[in-house]
Structure 1
Amino acid sequence: MQQSSPIDDPAMAAGPLAAIATLPELWRWRVAQSPDHDAYRHCDPDTGRWTRFSWREIDAVVARWRRALAAEDLAPGERIAILMPNGLAHLAMDQATLARGLVPVPMHAVDNADSIAYILADSGARLLLVDSDERWDEIAAVGQALPELKRIISAGPNHGPARSADDRLVSLEAWLGAADAAPPEAPVTVAPHDLAAIVYTSGTTGRPKGVMLSHGNVVANVKAIHQRLTAGIDDLFLSFLPLSHTFERTAGYYYPIAIGACVAYARSVKQLSDDLVQVRPTILVSVPRIYERIYSLVMHHRAMANPLERALVDLTIAIGGRRFDAQHGRGTPLSTFDRPTWPLLQRLVAQKVLARFGGRLKVAVSGGAPIAEPVVRLFLSLGLEVLQGYGMTETSPVVSVNTPDDNDPRTVGRALPGVEVRIGANDELMVRGPSVMLGYWHKPEETARVKEADGWLHTGDQARIDDGRITITGRIKDILVTSTGEKIAPADLETAILTDTLFEQAIVIGENRPFLTAIVVLNAKGWAEQQARLAAHGQRGPEAEAASLLRHIARTVKAYPSYATPKAVHWTLEPWTVQQGLITPTLKNKRPAIERAFAKEIDAIYAKRPAAAQ
């Protein structure tokens, strides 16, 4: 079965973007189109005030970086590594790099030093922009030989020879200042087939691979998104997902340039709740974890509320759900009770919850990982259009997405214009189109393994396509096969478990084992409350606590077969982090790493028969 969007060439329907073929062209076009419109907002860490920059102003900043980069006398195609948090410095280096015909290698600002050193060596980066001297010291301490690295630019407050004997290290201020008096740089021609980035995949099972994306790849994806979504120049994005990830680079960075929307850079994930309220974005691009956290807060509030408040929440969700389904031609029409009651419930309940997002959010896009249906249904019921999409780094990245007028949260929507999809062997989703990568950096064998000669890309995801809508059903290589022969998709179970507010993180294991085990990170406050309830009923000790956790888990996965219900659990209060190497920068579990970290506990569990959940 093969299906594609009705439009075969995204450029044919991209309006004023049709003639644009590269990212530098896109930037120049945008600056010319709306020079005095708000482009970016940045919060001063000292004053706490948000500063606005117009397209004309930010273009002047980029021009300064471009002159400094030109002074390095690098050849087109050489790689520039960017190890910075989201912000104007990251943007300026990225745009300067692209304009000079060089290739950005974006890296996650909190990735571990060993991974960063590997990427620097593998990409042959010639220049590195890093956020501090201390960060460079950590990378250097790994001991990785980096013979290609010519320059290290530190954006931190402490820099220069006073801290390091490395004569490649220079402060950002000195680097920019040295080029201020330089003559205008010679223009560089950039072609659609030139590399626009080497983006290293998250590497959930091993060393990351460098995905080569051309200007043509990224621009095609931006144009296709522009046809599918209706955002515009008056919209405001809040950027907090790492710019090292293609989802944020395309959907939260290049796409806003195409439509002229303003982007505010969040201060940090820890301050995201405050930033949402202060910035009041109209569009949010996020991974499921952010929605899951707010869902947990709502469900915890509901559990603690008095009977009247709980009834109001339940009624809001019920009527809001019926309202959403009716709007999309599903379910039954709203009753004579539902119609007049909804505006009241919207004021009393829905608007108070959505105020956590700032109160102006029109569209919230969820991607990067599956989102549990109860989570997405909650927000849809409250009147927030959460649009689930699907993509991967190798497709620049968006393959499909729901839209406000065609939103089926059980699916990841329809393929973007110009993107072909089909179901291959073993129910694998295959993708072909102008946004499919050129290949993996210096890995032709790996490229040939996933990209066929005629352009079809093996995604590794199992799916089905019904009436043009794509439903992801599992990950081929992540399927667990128990010793009893049962096949289970652990990611689905993990997503379900996280709908319980008691659990912050979860992984399910059981490959070639007689039963499944859940390893979970608990919400500290929720676990303390749970322990107090157990103690009040005379239930104390590890066995009683394990039985209680297994009951919680069993309730979350009750829709799955009994053999898919974990029969044992190990819990911790210490979160898994990127720095520990246990999760990817996009918050996905690194399954082998977690299993190694808990190897003793796992062996102990399977050495004895666990108590069954009651």
Structure 2
Amino acid sequence: MNLTDQSSLSDLFVERVRETPDAPAYRQFDGSGWKDLTWGETGREVMRWQAAFRKEGLKAGDRVALCLHNRVEWVLFDQAALGLGLVTVPLYFDDRPDNMAWCLNDAGARLLLLEDGRMWAGLRDQVKTIERVVSLDAADAGGDKKVTGLEAWLPPAAEDMLARSAAAPNDLATIVYTSGTTGRPKGVMLSHRNILSNVLSAMKALPAYTTDRFLSFLPLSHMFERTCGYYSAMWAGAQTVYARSITLLADDIREQRPTILISVPRIFERIYSRMQEAMAPGSPKRKLFEKATEVGWRRFRGEAAFADKLLWPLLKLLVAKKLYRRLGGRIRMIVVGGAAFAPHLSRVFIGLGLPIIQGYGLTETSPVLAANRMNDNDPTSVGRALEGIELRCDDKGELLARGPCVMLGYWNKPEATAAMIDRDGWLHTGDLVAIRGGNVYITGRVKDIIVLSNGEKVPPTDAEAAILRDAAFEQVMVVGEGRPKLGLLAVSKITDAGELCRRANAQLRDFPGYARIHHLARMADPWTVENGLLTPTLKAKRNEIEKRYAREIEAMYAGPDLCQPKNNG
């Protein structure tokens, strides 16, 4: 595909339609069965959407928002908008109405596409800038004249040519609101060049092909899925299948047989937990599984003994192939990002032969900064910088990044922009790292450190990731800033705090002695986006959780030290 750093995201789509009009582009379940679209058909649909946008009197630079699950209409909206020079503002489908309304008002969005028209009732009184609401389901909006169903909004056919944006490379393409764990989200301004440069460099590091099939399930409102699963698949001319739901994800993977998955560690944490629950401790099945992962890991690291080489074919047949078949039997690459991939998960799934590649980035960098490669994969690192991106550490160990993928800035927040990007163009990631042999190793967060009253420092995310290896814990948060010892807030079905404390510390056995849980408060109800304790990208809102459970935390610390041995008198 003939694209350069002077091209736009609209050029990417128009060139794909021109080059392979009859090749499969998208597959989606319409309620009765799977429906396929070619690139040519997708192009003709985008023309209809562009005609509808024109009727609204929108002009280049206007912001248009959408709130949908992953589906073909997400692409049609986005490409139609980009082709007309409009700015796409994606919203998280599971976000709270007040947060959505804040983002819409902040962006000054004029048009909103909703999957469920009933959502407008919760937004109507809070949103000030929206002039038109388009609903996929044409749900009754209580007579609101702003609202129309999609089919009534779209013309039956479009007679115009597919519009190609006249946007300059550094023109704004999208505003993506970061789901900040504290305060209101900030609107990340990404240009056409920001995103397209990231697609081109990512595809050089981890190429995809026309023969590939992506399965899309991470939210398209997040830049990880949008760049790596949507625009990259478009560059490659690969087919994308939209999963029906997270609930049906395992079925969709098995039946649709993707070759590439863009995933987050949480998916593999769930798979691992289910595998553990299905194998009784000490059972022959569990022993066989553990042996397969041990031998497989040594093979991956090039440390297999002669006995390992003899044993592996049988272990592969009895254990590894079963997992591979559960993933459809055609997987050739799994790209994992968005959060740290725990070492024990690496050992298990890479040991069993899954081609898992870990990468790293931020919304503010479009998003990928570094990634491992298929022939150079160190699972303990997040890989090397992509082509065209500079990475270095400052004197405190914070990772700094510079390159064409670095955002234009935060929407209407020059002070926040200046705090993030220094005068020399270096973006401050907030992550502490070590760089060895070109590989980036994440060691912690600049601000995400608990300092105990004795001065000892504990990175809570590392401790939490370790504790979550035990399937007894559904969600956890380590606390203890300014206190003498660590405490744990835990969502679990187990009610015995002492048992939970012991199990948590069993997972922390490799941590320093001061990194032990001494106090624990159990919660029965999970932390969710709806109750305001998770961001739309499912990160814990630490400040909000501490505020919500302030009484429980105080009561927890007023109680006994659960690490102390019981006095049996």
TM-score (norm 2): 0.96
- Give SS of 1:389's match: strand
Counterpart mapping for 1:96-495 below 5 A: 96-140=80-124, 143-146=125-128, 148-159=129-140, 163-177=141-155, 180=157, 188-303=165-280, 307-326=283-302, 332=303, 334-495=304-465
Superposition deviation, residue 563 in structure 1: 1.4
In 2, distance between residues paired with 1:379 and 1:92? Answer: 36
2:45–2:76 contact (8 Å) kept in structure 1: yes
In 2, distance between residues paired with 1:506 and 1:19? Answer: 43
Higher helix proportion: 1
TM-score (norm 1): 0.89
In 1, distance between residues paired with 2:80 and 2:326? Answer: 36
In 2, distance between residues paired with 1:507 and 1:235? Answer: 39
> Paired residue for 1:533?
none
Give, as a single letter, the amino acid of the residue that structure 2 aligns with 1:589.
A
In 2, distance between residues paired with 1:362 and 1:487? Answer: 40
| Structure 2: gaps (5+ residues) | none
> Paired residue for 1:70?
54
Counterpart mapping for 1:39-78 below 5 A: 39-45=25-31, 47=32, 49-78=33-62
In 2, distance between residues paired with 1:570 and 1:458? Answer: 35
> Paired residue for 1:30?
16
In 1, distance between residues paired with 2:337 and 2:268? Answer: 11
- Give SS of 1:564's match: coil
- Give SS of 2:154's match: helix
> Paired residue for 2:510?
559
For residues 169-201 of structure 1, the C-alpha deviation after alignment (integer angstroms, 9 at most, x for no partner) is 111111113x74776687651211111110000
For residues 35-58 of structure 1, the C-alpha deviation after alignment (integer angstroms, 9 at most, x for no partner) is 11111110122x2x2211111111
Counterpart mapping for 1:583-598 below 5 A: 583-598=534-549
Distance 1:172 1:612, change over 3 A: same
2:48–2:158 contact (8 Å) kept in structure 1: no
Which range moves more in the overlay, 268-277 or 568-577? 568-577
Superposition deviation, residue 595 in structure 1: 1.5
In 1, distance between residues paired with 2:280 and 2:18? Answer: 53
In 2, distance between residues paired with 1:132 and 1:213? Answer: 27
Which range moves more in the overlay, 210-219 or 579-588? 579-588
Superposition deviation, residue 157 in structure 1: 4.3
Superposition deviation, residue 166 in structure 1: 2.6
For residues 270-329 of structure 1, the C-alpha deviation after alignment (integer angstroms, 9 at most, x for no partner) is 21111111111111111110011111122222335x632222112101110111001xxx
- Give SS of 2:317's match: helix
Runs of 4+ in structure 1 displaced over 4 angstroms?
A: 179-188
Which range moves more in the overlay, 339-348 or 184-193? 184-193
In 2, distance between residues paired with 1:436 and 1:55? Answer: 30
Give, as a single letter, the amino acid of the residue that structure 2 aligns with 1:295.
Y
Give, as a single letter, the amino acid of the residue that structure 1 aligns with 2:539.
K
Superposition deviation, residue 164 in structure 1: 2.2
Aligned length: 565
Give, as a single letter, the amino acid of the residue that structure 1 aligns with 2:24.
D
In 1, distance between residues paired with 2:136 and 2:327? Answer: 31
Superposition deviation, residue 487 in structure 1: 1.3
In 2, distance between residues paired with 1:417 and 1:184? Answer: 35
Superposition deviation, residue 456 in structure 1: 0.5
Give, as a single letter, the amino acid of the residue that structure 1 aligns with 2:44.
A
Distance 1:291 1:187, change over 3 A: closer
Which range moves more in the overlay, 354-363 or 316-325? 354-363
Matched, 1:547 2:547: no
